[in-house]
Amino acid sequence: MKNRLLPLLAVATMIGLSSLPAIATRLPPEIRKTVLDVYTKGTVRLDGSVALPDGNFLLPLIPGMNPLLKIKSEAVQKFPGNTSEPSLLIYENGWAHLKTLKKGSVLTVNVPADVPEPVKKKLLAMKLPADLIVPDGFVMPKSLKAFLGDLNVPQIDDATLAKPDFGQKKAESSQTAYSGAGTFALISIKDGTIILIDAKTFNKLAEFPTEGTPWGMTFFNGKLYITDQAKNRILLLDPVARKFLGQFDLPPATAPKGIAVLPAAKSLYVSQSGSATVGIYEAANGKAISKTKVPTGPSRVVLTPDGIYALVVSVTASELSLISTYNQHVIGSVKVGNVPTCVALHPTEKWAYVSNRMSNTVSVIDFSKRAISGTIKTGTSPTGLAVTPDGSKLFVALGRDNTITIYDTKTLEKKHEAKLPLDVDFPGTICLTPDGKNLLISSQQTDTIGILDTETYEFKKQVQVGHTTQEILWLPAG
């Protein structure tokens, strides 16, 4: 064969597609030409899928064990056969492209009605490639779950998908006003202590020594999960009963830092600075699911509101990486400033904000495009970030300047600046109450935290917690 890829692809199918994912999904030139002859405005992606201008995709399907034949550009079956833009293309070598179908705000797939039963049987033996960059909002009908292989994609009953209003955005119901109930958890990395504060009174409730180096926190199912960098473990704390529930031991030299939870999958994403990986663990028992290699120095981890991406800040590499939670692969990395420190997400737009402590900037990233969309020049040593619940304002803590600066998220213009009280020095992480009316500010140099009124931009209270603090996380009541 003239094309050198085809023998490699044949080997890939013989040993299993998951063994050579990059080779398996790189389209041979003949298939590329054929699909673009049909969809002239399509863009072939690295995973073998084709992005279409209307927001749909042609997803590649590959046979698990199938001899590859020489491909002719005209050797393709099209279904339905009576349209210029068929939703299914089957090539001579046994590969196929299946077009997604929009259902309101989601994407799904179906098999065209005119596909003969013998062809459909062969089609259902195919798999989506293991390294597929799964489109945002994609769900798989349960009748076609065989396509998924090892991909972790939401599955929906066919009857549910068939409902006329499936995927349509429903009017948001009025939410109960935030009552102030809840708790704030704080970490003192220096002292190895966890501190609880009442979210209504801001009074200190309790503290818990860890005899380790706690670094990051997340909350799920009534439990606070705390990484311990020095002891390679995850601690579990019940904030209501106010007691430790145990720990998950991680591999030696893991040095865990950031942690986030994916509620739908009941799994934890843990940045492991010692191995430059993100480990995925079951939240119930700490069992390892998989791990993903990321650029050096991973620290913060956040999950996007839709749960599709885990965003990972790598301090040493000065990058923000995007991991697909469908297949746990890095699907892109964005270069940011020097010593990226914190990351915050816009509540409705696909924007991430990364503070760059040594560049004195905040990078604004459109993570749907995996690109920088703007840069905010700040004062000295930006650290903590917080976005208001309505997404209109970005709060930036400036460590060296000891100020909180407020920016308009649309224009990126500076709107206000609040000087910290004398007993709050070098702010780290900052955290808004759920109603956005109060901002809690940690202090890496003193034992006092500040409470900023976000309507008047005045400090209404300082709370002595007895320890320097770096991390703050709001926990719901109960």
H/E segment holding residue 9: helix 5-15
Residue 472: per-residue pLDDT: 97
pLDDT the model gives residue 448: 97
Q: Is 12 helix (H, G, I), strand (E, B) or coil?
A: helix
217 vs 230: CA distance, rounded Å = 15
CA-nearest of 143, 133, 83, 136 to 111 is 143
Distance separating alpha carbons of residues 472 and 465, to the nearest angstrom: 12
Q: How many helices (H) and strands (E) does the chain have?
A: 5, 39
How far apart (Å, rounded) are the C-alpha atoms in residues 470 and 255?
17
Identity at 296, one-letter amino acid code: T
Residues of the chain with pLDDT under 50: 1-24, 66-74, 171-176
How many Å apart are CA 23 and CA 8, to the nearest integer?
Answer: 7
Calpha distance 213→256 (Å, rounded): 10
Q: What is the pTM of this model?
A: 0.81
Cis peptide before 80 (omega within 30 of 0): yes
Question: Please, what sign has the CA dihedral across residues 148, 149, 152, 157?
Answer: positive
DSSP 443: -
Distance between CA atoms of residues 269 and 262, nearest Å:
8
Q: How many CB atoms lie within 10 A of CB 222?
A: 13
Among 176, 174, 166, 269, which Cα is nearest to 227's?
A: 269
Per-residue model confidence (pLDDT) at position 65: 54
Length in residues, the chain: 478
Domains annotated for the chain, with CATH where assigned, are: 5-161 (no CATH), 183-475 (2.130.10.10)
* Burial readout 342-366 (b: 16 or more C-beta within 10 A, e: otherwise): bbbbbeeebbbbbbbbebbbbbbbe
Q: What is the C-alpha to C-alpha distance for residues 405 and 452, in angstroms, rounded to an integer?
A: 12
Strands 140-141 and 155-156: parallel
Give the closest residue to 365 by CA, choosing from 351, 383, 376: 351
d(CA 351, CA 327): 22
Q: What is the pLDDT of residue 38?
A: 92
Q: Are 97 and 87 in contact (CB under 8 A)?
A: no
Phi-psi region of 104 (alpha: psi -120 to 50; beta: other; left: phi over 0): left
For residues 450 and 424, the answer to whether their CB atoms sit within 8 Å is yes
Taking CA atoms, 423 is separated from 147, 200, 418, 453, in Å, by 59, 22, 14, 17
Distance CA 248, CA 226 (A): 10
Contacts of 106 (CB under 8 A, 6+ apart): 137, 138, 139, 166, 167
Q: Which residues pair with 184 in a beta bridge?
A: 197, 474
Cα 295 to Cα 316: distance, rounded to the nearest angstrom: 8
3-class SS string, 34-85: HHHHHCCCCEECCCCCEECCCCCEEEEEEECCCCCCCCCCCCEEEECCCCCC
